[in-house]
């Protein structure tokens, strides 16, 4: 991760196909295309990758979450339970629909804590959105059981976890709906892009129409298409899809590289008793896009980060002090800083953020270090990095 590190002839070939025929839009212009339908080809390839019946490409991972929720009828006043550790896009995508994000604690998987989810369910709860952060997963069996018992949608935001599996099933294909991002820093990239994954035909058709102004996509004359319901523009372009089509063909190669580099780092740090690793639920396999570990306390963790920086160990973070991925510094959400008026229903629904604390999440995030696994590292570079990491941690301890 990320796939742009290994751009090559296959990506250039797919993009040049689009430039040669000149049709950058995924719909229409049938006569000009010379048989090239990159978005359709990528959707078909992703169906195989995700072992899913339906895939709808969209413009981003954020769009994928909004489209997925909308396709299942989530909207104004509905509550969507989500984790404190994610990307800001998670609550943005919920609020875009007029729904209310209900943030709850994580556990040592770095994903949703099932007990916290149970405690947050109200009559307004419509969906539970599990975010498979940093290449791995939450306790999916427990979350599936909770959603089944309470008749709730289970939505997977697997934007950071393409290639991970649970009980042999690809992450993103386990819930009612799955969401993926193919932005510039994902394991496979389109530059910008995303996908909604589902086995539910109704949700798929809704996503297909909703993401393109409500077009029903019936027939070969775009101007004659009807609009069964209101929609918006979340389309991907053919250029973006072309890059993704090349990249998805290389996903097994990318995952193998990630696993190799991840394993070298984990083996090295395993010799340090004070280092512990995130829990991967039984039956789960990470995508190996990130290497995550815990240290004994927040002070030690900050010290290790400084040692890493001073010794040339890049691409490692402690999310406790991060502005994008953890509730602690999301002041724009807590204070509802918006360019336009927020509905009273959403304002009231988010009042809990003024007083709510997340001690369990703090306990894990303050002690966590997350390191990006690069595809371009040589084995010698990974081993050198591992040695530097071990030395820096021992120095701080």
Q: How far apart are CA 167 and CA 94, in angstroms?
A: 29
In terms of Cβ atoms closer than 10 Å to its own Cβ (0-12, 13-18, 19+), residue 47 is middle
Q: Which residue has the tokens 């966590």?
A: 368
What is the widest separation between alpha-carbon atoms in the chain?
Answer: 69
- DSSP letter at 134 equals G
**Residue tagged active-site, from 126, 186, 201, 337:** 186
DSSP labels for 38-50? Answer: HHHHHHHHHHHHH
**Of 43, 44, 20, which is closest to residue 32 (Cα–Cα)?**
20
Which of 115, 90, 106, 167 lies closest to 138, judged by CA? 106
- Joined together, the tokens standing for residue 210 give 């909703």
DSSP 8-class letter at 191: B
Question: Is 360 an annotated catalytic residue?
Answer: no
∠ at Cα 362 (306, 119), nearest 5°? 160
Q: Is-contact 267 353, C-beta < 8 A?
A: no
Q: Quick check: 165 and 285 in contact, CB under 8 A? A: yes
SS3 252: helix
> Phi and psi at residue 63, in whole multiples of 5°?
-60, -40
Q: How far is CA 68 from the centre of its chain?
A: 13
Cβ-defined contacts of 321-328 (< 8 Å, 24+)? 324/87, 324/88, 325/85, 325/86, 325/87, 325/88, 325/133, 326/84, 326/85, 326/361, 326/365, 327/84, 327/85, 327/103, 327/358, 327/361, 328/362, 328/365
Annotated catalytic sites, by residue? Answer: 186
């Amino acid at each position: 991760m990320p796939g742009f590190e290994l751009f090559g002839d296959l990506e250039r070939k797919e993009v040049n196909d689009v430039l040669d025929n000149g049709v950058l839009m995924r719909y229409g212009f049938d006569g000009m295309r010379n048989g090239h339908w990159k978005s359709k080809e990528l959707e078909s390839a992703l169906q195989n990758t995700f072992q899913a019946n339906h895939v709808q490409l969209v413009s981003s991972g954020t769009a994928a979450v909004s489209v997925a929720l909308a396709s299942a009828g989530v909207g104004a006043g509905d509550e969507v339970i989500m984790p404190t550790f994610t990307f800001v896009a998670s609550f943005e995508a919920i609020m875009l629909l007029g729904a209310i994000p209900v943030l709850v604690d994580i556990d040592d998987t770095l994903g949703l804590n099932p007990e916290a989810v149970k405690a947050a369910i109200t009559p307004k709860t419509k969906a539970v959105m599990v975010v498979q952060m940093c290449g791995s997963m939450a306790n999916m069996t427990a979350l599936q059981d909770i959603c089944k018992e309470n008749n709730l949608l289970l939505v997977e935001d697997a934007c950071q976890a393409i290639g991970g599996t649970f009980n042999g099933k690809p992450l993103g294909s386990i819930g009612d709906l799955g969401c993926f991002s193919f932005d510039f820093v994902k394991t496979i990239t389109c530059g910008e892009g995303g996908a909604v994954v589902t086995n539910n035909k109704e949700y798929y058709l809704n996503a297909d129409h909703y993401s393109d102004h409500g077009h029903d996509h019936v027939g070969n004359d775009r101007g004659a298409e009807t609009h069964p319901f209101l929609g918006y523009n979340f389309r991907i372009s053919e250029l973006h899809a072309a890059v993704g089509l090349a990249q998805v063909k290389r996903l097994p190669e990318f995952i193998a590289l990630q696993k190799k580099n991840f394993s070298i780092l984990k083996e090295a740090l395993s010799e340090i008793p004070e280092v512990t690793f995130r829990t991967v639920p039984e039956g789960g396999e990470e995508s190996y896009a990130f290497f995550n570990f815990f240290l004994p306390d927040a002070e030690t963790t900050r010290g290790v980060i400084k040692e890493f920086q001073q010794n040339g160990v890049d691409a490692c973070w402690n999310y406790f002090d991060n502005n994008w991925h953890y509730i602690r510094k999301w002041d724009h959400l807590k204070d509802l800083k918006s360019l336009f008026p927020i509905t009273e229903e959403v304002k009231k629904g988010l009042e809990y953020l003024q007083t709510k604390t997340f001690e369990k999440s703090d306990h894990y995030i303050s002690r966590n270090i997350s390191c990006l696994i690069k595809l371009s590292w040589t084995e010698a570079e990974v081993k050198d990095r591992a040695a530097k990491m071990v030395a820096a941690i021992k120095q701080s301890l």
